[in-house]
Structures are given as structure tokens and as C-alpha cells.
Chain A
Amino acid sequence: MPPRVQNQLVTNSLLPYLSSSSTPTSTISKIPTQCSSSSIPSTSRRTCRPFSSTVASQTKLRNEMFTWLSSEGTALKNHVPGSTNYLTQFKERDEQPAGRTRPFPLNQNFISESILSEELRNEIYDRVVNQKKSVRAVSVDLGVDMRRVGAVVRLVELEKRQKQQGKSLALPYARAIHEMVPTTPLYEDTRDNRSRPHESINDLPVHKLTDPQIFYPVSESRQFNRVDAGRVFSAAPALENKQVTNTAADPAEVISSITQNPSHIEKVGKGAAEQQVLQPADARIPHPHLIAHERFRQSNPNEYREIYKAYSERLRQEETAEKERKRLAKERREQQQTKVQPESSRFEFRFKDVVVSKETTGTDGRGSKAPGIRYGVPSYERKKGQVKIPTRVEV
């Protein structure tokens, strides 16, 4: 709401005559200046128009608001460089450190989390682009999520390009924001970034299949582990004894074979209900190779060099598998596409064969995503109420 015009300048013609005769001019000259300053509490506001018969321009609530803004609210007016300045720490008297990170007093569950500092951002960019380290390695080393690492590289790249083009940057604004919001620094010893990560890098998304509570009787003598639980959740038959012993013998190998070939995961169900068997958390976290690393470290606690060697070897394997997977996917995509670039044309035409599958036409052949006009499938393109907002923007 825009602030209303405050017509507090009392133009009462009687005022000079009513006020004391000793210093009439000075009092009058003082009044407007007092009233115009918003920092005085409402009591003095009331007293500065004692003889006015007009209705007060300020409601009680507005008075309260300006009183609060000029008393307790003043601390919130300007930011405190280097620390947060939220309402919560003033509402809760007992100076808790938690109050410093909660912007909303009533919401205990939302905390203002730190953002990447400029140095950390540049370090990430440097490691990925200049030192040619993999996103996975940088993510583990600096304790930043892999998706964030990718985003940082994109953004810094964009920033560099804008600087080159001479476009204006919002530098004072960026500086102010970094003063207001908590930031994760780049520590002197970058190993500290690993021990004190920016965010949790091994977040396990809660799978839909684990929502229902299942009561599954198991004999007490059986080792019922995460793999078995995943099979129960996806209604897959229990593993045979031979497979169980294999898994127990070398769990790291089993997990890496799953994560490096995700298309080979066992499937259950028939027809449209076919789905992959729910894998244990060991395979579904973003950095499964870290589990093997930890296991190796716990078994050989003091052989640092060996541990590091094994770690880098595991990382390399993971990366090559990922690259291979990407290459194959790209090849497959290019096989499906025919590119035609006519002479003297700026455009390249890309043709793709129509695929009639469950994903495009749907099980009944009437899916809306499939291209072309199909008999018996009406097009609602020009019908009322069709939302035309794009659903994605291709880069």
C-alpha cells in the first residue's frame, strides 16, 4: 500500500494567537519539522495538533505501525554487513543462535541457508573449466551438490561473456546481498570445504514406493537388509541364496555394476505396470562410490596413499562409465535423426521418425504428445481454455 499523504501541517489560523506570546514564531516554525519527521512516536504526533477539529488522518493502526517502525523496527531498517538481520532475533528475547537464521518467527522449519561466496564460486569454475576436473570430483571435494556445480559453471561463464560484451553488472547490489545473506566461504585449507560442506551432497530422494507401510514377516535368523527391503517395496521375489552370498562377498562391486549400468536393473511387473526393482540407498545416492571409499578406509585406516589411489581409481571408473553412457545415448539419438542442410541455407533441418510407443501415443494410441493427426483423436488446439504457456525452453 502506498503511504498516504500525511497532511499534518496544521494550518490553523488561530494557532499563532493561541500559543504563548513569548515565542510565537519559533513554535510555529518548529511544528511542521517535528511532524514531518517520521521518527517520533505517536504521542508527540498527537500533541502537535492539539486544537485541530479535523479528523485525525492517521488511524490507530497506522500510528502503531509507525511507532513500531521507529522503535523496534529501526534495527531492521538497514542491514548489518556480515550477519543476518531477521525479525526472529528481535521477537525472541533469548538471543538464540537459531533465531539468526530463521527469517520467519512462526516458522520453525524454514531456515535461511548459506549461499556460495564469490571465492568459492570462482574456485568451482576454475576447477571444472581450467583444471578439467570432473563435476563429481569437484562436488565431493568442495561439498557442493553436483547440480549446483553445473549451474555455477554456467553462471560464471555467462558472467564472463557479459563482461566481455561490456554489459552492465549489478555489482553494488550483489555486494549488498552477500552482506545480508549467510555465505559459505572458501576455506584457506580446501580440505575444510570437504569436512564442512556447503550442503549435503548425498541426498536420497524418498521414493514413491516407500510411502506405504508394509508388514512383512521375516524369520529372525535371516539378515534382512536394504536390498531385501527394496525388493519387498517393489513386490519383487526375494533373492536366492547364491545371489545373497555373492552380494555379501563384494557389496561394492555389486553396487557399482548397478550404478554404472542403470539400464540393466531388474524389472518386475507386466505390461504397463512394469517397473524397475527399487534399489537400496547405496545405489541411489548421488555419490555411491563414496561408500566403497569409506569401507576401504575403515578396513585400512592408516594407509592414506593406498586409500587415495583407490579413491581416484574408483572415481575414474565412474567417470568413464558415465562418459560411455552419454556417448551411447548421443549415438542412439543421432541414429534416429536425419540432418539435411540445403546449399545456401542457414538452416539445418532435422527429421525424426515417428515413434509409436507407450511414451508417445500412449497405451490406447490416443496420447496428445504424439505428432500428427490420427484418426479419432481430436485436436483441442483451438478450443477454449487451452493453456498456451510453453512448458519448456530449449537452450
Chain B
Amino acid sequence: MRNRATTPLSKPKIRQSWSKYNLFNLQRLRNPPTGSKTFFQQKWTAKSMARAYHGEQVRESQWARMFSRRIRSVVPMSPARLAQDDGSGMSAGRGAGVEGTKDFPRLTPFTQMTFAPLERRLDVAIFRAMFASSARQARQFVVHGAVTVNGKQMRYPGYLLNPGDLFQVDPERVMYATGAPKDKHERREGRVARRKSAESQETEAKEEGAAEESGEKKDAESEELGQQRENDDPRETLKVLLAQAKNIMAGSKDVLPAKKKQELRGFQKAVKRVLSRSDSSTVLADNLESQFSELITLLKAKPAEKKDAKRSKREQSSEDAKNVSESTSESATASESQPGEALTEAFRQAAQNPEEEVDTSELTEDEFDVLKRALVQMRDNPIDSTKPYATPWRPRDYMSAFAFIPRYLEVNHNICAAVYLRHPVARPGSSEVPTPFGEPVGTAAFAWYLRRR
């Protein structure tokens, strides 16, 4: 199906989409003039406006078959009021109810529910659950096989969900649809990474002699790394880690994203370096808990072994202090560097008398928390140039203006799954069908489909 769902500026149409063009059109949308128009014209305009938004991917004849003039509605009841009277007050007197009960309920916007049957469609429901940035994209996800309904793949965008159906979209696609796009530098990074991985695969496939030659560079790198490893003792690494973690967790808006990214990358590298020192290979798995505990035990255990090398440590720690102060002076205050020292102090105590119980928990709660949170963020939202969206993931621009989730869906965003609870209903004062048009358009469109024109 050709995509005719454009958002032109000259003849504005509102679409089910989060694009900025759509936002601009939505911003200048007005109710169509009715003064000099015939009733037919009013209905035609309203219908064409509404249909450009509601199910433009559905043929008109198909929609005309789906249309139902009976609109679902509910009335919220209060058990306390039902308990108080049996309803005879409503019919008392001359039939209009007893005097004094003049609390008129708000009107139920029935005509705003004209397009409720379309909300049952799978592609529209995916868009409403905020798994795709437009109904067209949702449709593509379905057609491309990224959507399951009740655990089975469903390739029909026109599948009408039944109450209780659970649909799920591939989280990677959702992250791509809702995340900010890559800029050209990130795209280039991705290309370079891909080329590198391809090259490395090739070299591995080739004979080992060739691998040795190419490995020279790597050796140089690893030597550097090794030097670094020799240089930095656990306490230093911990300090650096903490400083980096704090910088990351600070989340200050004034820090440039590029700089933040550098920090994140540095942190990632540091953690990897620390973890690579341990012999067990399990830590390299993605399990955060084990990674964290490994990191902690590693940093605790090491000073206990190297008790004799105190002097060198002190020298280094003084250097570290300088480094830390330098690094923190940019963004953080002196108070922020303090907990790191407290932690190292605790570690020192723990190292000097490992049997004794040190009140590390009191001192290091914050640091552990900071370190852990940084690790969590790094794990949940890593920098990965192979992803099709900008990493670390952030919501795309102008997304919040369209962010709402109607009540007839129950969505779990962690796994990108949602349950279609029931059909949308109208209730006094509100309708559940998200439509950008006001009551005049809704009523005229409803009148159009009543086919009495």
C-alpha cells in the first residue's frame, strides 16, 4: 500500500503521527467555518478531516461497514448513592423527580466516539500504546512480523483485537520508533564499527600468521592497557569509578551530550578493565548483580593482598586526589568528592583488619548506591553504535506532546506488551477515543455516516 499519509502544510491534515509537521498542523487547527456552508458541505468537510486522522489506511467502504451507530457508553455508579435510595425519587411527583435533585450530570460526548470501531484495529492499538511513532509505522511493524498477539505472530494490521488480547512488539523496534534518530557522526561510528567487526571476522577466518601481524597493533594497545593495569590499584580505580559514576548520575543539563558520552564510555571501559582482572569469566555476562558484587569483592580483596605496598599506594592516592579534584572541579563541588574518600577510607580499614567488622555500611551506602546506579544506567541504556537509534536512548523530539495512553489499554512498557482490556466507551464528560477534533467535527462526521444526507 502506497503511503499517502503525508502531512502537507498547504492543505493541512492531522495524522496519527508524532512528527513535528503534524504538531504544527495540530497547533493551527481550527474548527471549520459553518456560517456560509450547507449542511452537506459541513458534513463533508468534517468527515474528510476526521477520516484523514482516523484510519486513513482503511478504505472508505471498509470503514463504512465497520461503522456502528450504537455507541458504547458507561455511567460510573456510586455504591453509597445506590444504597441510599432505590431510585423511586427519580420518578416521584409528576414523573420528573422530587424537588431538590437538580444535579444534572455532564453530557456524554457520544458523537466523539464515531471512530471507536477503528481503535480495535491492531495497528491503531499499537500506535495508541505508544509502541510506534505513527499508525503507518505500527502497520509496518505488524506486516514485518515484529508483533505477536497472545504469543502468536500476527501479520494482519487489520486484525480486530478482542477484549483480553495481549499484543507485544519487539522492544528493539519500539526503541527505534520512539528513540531519537542517529546524527551523521553516530551513523558513521556505526559504519566504522561494522566494518571493523567484518574485518576482524575476516582476519580470524584467515590463517593465524596473518592474525599475528594484525595483532601487533592490538598488542601495543594491550601493552598500554597492561601498563595502566599495573599502574592503577583498586583504590584508585574505585575512586575514578566513583567520580565518573557521580558525573554520570549528576545528569546536569549544562554538560554537553558529547562530553557526557565520553564520560559514559570512560566509565564503561573502567568497569570492564576492573572486571577483566578477575579470573572468572562469568562477570562479563550481563548479570548486573553478579557484576556489582564481583566489582565490590574485587576491590575489597585486592587491598587485603597488597598490604605491604602501602607506600606506593599513598603516593598514588595523593596523585589520585589531585586527579579527582581536577575532574570534579569542573562540575561537582567538594562535597561530592568527600564520599569517595570515605569509601576509600572504609576500604582501607577493611583491608587492614579484614576479620573485624567495619562500619562500612554506614559510610558507603551512598557510594554503593551511586556506583550501582551508574552501573544500572550503563547496563540499561548503553552506548552501542550497532543500534539503529541514537545511544544512549532518549525519547525523540516532540514526543511528549503526543504522549497519552487511553484507558482501554493496559500497557507494560518494559516488555512493550499491552492488553486490550475492553472496547473504548464514552462516559459523562469524556470519551475514550483520542481524536484531535472538537465536538462540531465529531457530530458532523457522525451525521455523515448515518447516511441520511
Among residues of B, the one whose C-beta sits closest to the C-beta of A248 is B86
Kindly state the separation between the CA atoms of A166 and B78 in the bound complex, as whole angstroms: 45
- Residues of chain B within 8 A (CB-CB) of A169 are 171, 380, 414-415
Inter-chain contact B400/A107, CB cutoff 8 Å: no
Among B20, B151, B286, B415, point to the contact of A73 (Cβ < 8 A): B20
Among residues of A, the one whose C-beta sits closest to the C-beta of B26 is A87
- Residues of chain A within 8 A (CB-CB) of B31 are 106
A109 within 8 A of B: yes
- Residues of chain A within 8 A (CB-CB) of B403 are 79, 84-85, 103, 112, 177, 180-181
Among B74, B149, B151, B404, point to the contact of A206 (Cβ < 8 A): B74
B76 within 8 A of A: yes
Inter-chain contact B159/A298, CB cutoff 8 Å: no
Kindly state the separation between the CA atoms of A232 and B165 in the bound complex, as whole angstroms: 37
For window 107-158 of B, CB contacts with A under 8 Å fall at 109, 112, 130, 149-152, 154, 156, 158
Among A73, A168, A181, A392, point to the contact of B171 (Cβ < 8 A): A168
Kindly state the separation between the CA atoms of A77 and B75 in the bound complex, as whole angstroms: 37
Using A158-B417, A223-B86, A393-B152 as known contacts, say yes or no to A180 and B76 having CB atoms under 8 A apart.
no
For window 266-301 of A, CB contacts with B under 8 Å fall at 280-282, 285, 287, 290-295, 298
Inter-chain contact B412/A166, CB cutoff 8 Å: no
Kindly state the separation between the CA atoms of A204 and B394 in the bound complex, as whole angstroms: 41
A202 vs chain B, min Cβ distance (A):
5
For window 163-210 of B, CB contacts with A under 8 Å fall at 163-166, 168, 171-172, 174-175, 178-179
Kindly state the separation between the CA atoms of A143 and B404 in the bound complex, as whole angstroms: 20
- Residues of chain B within 8 A (CB-CB) of A91 are 27
For window 204-228 of A, CB contacts with B under 8 Å fall at 204-206, 208, 211, 218, 220, 223-227
Inter-chain contact B76/A203, CB cutoff 8 Å: yes
Inter-chain contact A171/B380, CB cutoff 8 Å: yes
Kindly state the separation between the CA atoms of A148 and B412 in the bound complex, as whole angstroms: 12
A56 within 8 A of B: no
A115 within 8 A of B: yes
Among A177, A389, A392, point to the contact of B413 (Cβ < 8 A): A177
Inter-chain contact B10/A61, CB cutoff 8 Å: yes
Inter-chain contact A390/B434, CB cutoff 8 Å: no
A239 within 8 A of B: no
Inter-chain contact A394/B83, CB cutoff 8 Å: no
Among B164, B380, B430, point to the contact of A111 (Cβ < 8 A): B430
- Residues of chain A within 8 A (CB-CB) of B429 are 109
B79 within 8 A of A: yes
Inter-chain contact A155/B166, CB cutoff 8 Å: yes
Inter-chain contact B93/A202, CB cutoff 8 Å: no
Among B7, B381, B417, point to the contact of A1 (Cβ < 8 A): B7
- Residues of chain A within 8 A (CB-CB) of B76 are 200, 202-204
A318 vs chain B, min Cβ distance (A):
14
Inter-chain contact A158/B412, CB cutoff 8 Å: yes
- Residues of chain B within 8 A (CB-CB) of A80 are 400
A156 within 8 A of B: yes
Using A158-B417, A173-B179, A224-B88 as known contacts, say yes or no to A389 and B158 having CB atoms under 8 A apart.
yes
Digitize A43-82: 1 where CB-to-B-CB distance is under 8 Å, 0 elsewhere.
Answer: 0000000000000000101100100110011001111100
A218 vs chain B, min Cβ distance (A):
7
- Residues of chain A within 8 A (CB-CB) of B74 are 203-206
Inter-chain contact A103/B413, CB cutoff 8 Å: no
Inter-chain contact A110/B434, CB cutoff 8 Å: yes
B441 vs chain A, min Cβ distance (A):
8
Among B165, B178, B414, point to the contact of A171 (Cβ < 8 A): B414
Among residues of A, the one whose C-beta sits closest to the C-beta of B418 is A155
Inter-chain contact A109/B154, CB cutoff 8 Å: no
B396 vs chain A, min Cβ distance (A):
10
- Residues of chain A within 8 A (CB-CB) of B40 are none
Using A158-B415, A395-B150 as known contacts, say yes or no to A218 and B95 having CB atoms under 8 A apart.
yes
Kindly state the separation between the CA atoms of A118 and B449 in the bound complex, as whole angstroms: 42
Among A61, A151, A394, point to the contact of B419 (Cβ < 8 A): A151
B436 within 8 A of A: yes
Among residues of A, the one whose C-beta sits closest to the C-beta of B381 is A172
Inter-chain contact B6/A1, CB cutoff 8 Å: yes
Tell me how many residues of A have a C-beta within 8 Å of chain B. Answer: 97
B85 vs chain A, min Cβ distance (A):
8
Among B77, B154, B165, point to the contact of A203 (Cβ < 8 A): B77
Kindly state the separation between the CA atoms of A147 and B6 in the bound complex, as whole angstroms: 37
A6 within 8 A of B: no
Kindly state the separation between the CA atoms of A32 and B157 in the bound complex, as whole angstroms: 45
B407 within 8 A of A: yes
Kindly state the separation between the CA atoms of A159 and B395 in the bound complex, as whole angstroms: 22
Among A76, A162, A290, A393, point to the contact of B401 (Cβ < 8 A): A76
- Residues of chain A within 8 A (CB-CB) of B91 are 218, 224-225, 229
Most buried by A among B7, B174, B415, B433: B415
For window 372-413 of B, CB contacts with A under 8 Å fall at 380-381, 392-395, 397-407, 410-413
- Residues of chain A within 8 A (CB-CB) of B437 are 104, 106-107
Digitize A359-395: 1 where CB-to-B-CB distance is under 8 Å, 0 elsewhere.
Answer: 0000000000000000000000000000001111111
For window 1-56 of B, CB contacts with A under 8 Å fall at 6-10, 19-21, 23-24, 26-27, 29-31
Inter-chain contact A87/B151, CB cutoff 8 Å: no
B84 within 8 A of A: yes
Inter-chain contact A229/B87, CB cutoff 8 Å: yes
A251 within 8 A of B: yes
B269 within 8 A of A: no
A174 within 8 A of B: yes
- Residues of chain A within 8 A (CB-CB) of B414 are 159, 169-171, 174
B265 within 8 A of A: no
Digitize A137-160: 1 where CB-to-B-CB distance is under 8 Å, 0 elsewhere.
Answer: 000000001011011101110110
Kindly state the separation between the CA atoms of A37 and B250 in the bound complex, as whole angstroms: 28
- Residues of chain B within 8 A (CB-CB) of A112 are 403-405
Inter-chain contact A393/B77, CB cutoff 8 Å: no
Among B80, B419, B441, point to the contact of A294 (Cβ < 8 A): B80
- Residues of chain A within 8 A (CB-CB) of B244 are none
Using A180-B395, A199-B407 as known contacts, say yes or no to A173 and B87 having CB atoms under 8 A apart.
no
- Residues of chain A within 8 A (CB-CB) of B415 are 155, 158-159, 162, 167, 169-170
Inter-chain contact B438/A59, CB cutoff 8 Å: no
Query: What are 22 A-B contacts with C-beta separation under 8 Å?
Result: A59-B10, A72-B27, A73-B24, A78-B395, A84-B400, A86-B400, A107-B112, A108-B438, A113-B405, A147-B164, A148-B410, A158-B417, A166-B286, A171-B414, A172-B380, A173-B174, A174-B414, A180-B403, A203-B76, A205-B74, A294-B79, A395-B151
Known pairs A104-B435, A226-B86; list 12 more (Cβ under 8 Å): A76-B23, A84-B404, A85-B403, A110-B431, A112-B404, A155-B419, A156-B412, A170-B414, A173-B416, A204-B77, A211-B70, A393-B165
The 9 closest A-B pairs by CB, nearest first: A79-B400, A112-B404, A174-B413, A151-B419, A226-B87, A294-B83, A200-B76, A290-B79, A155-B412
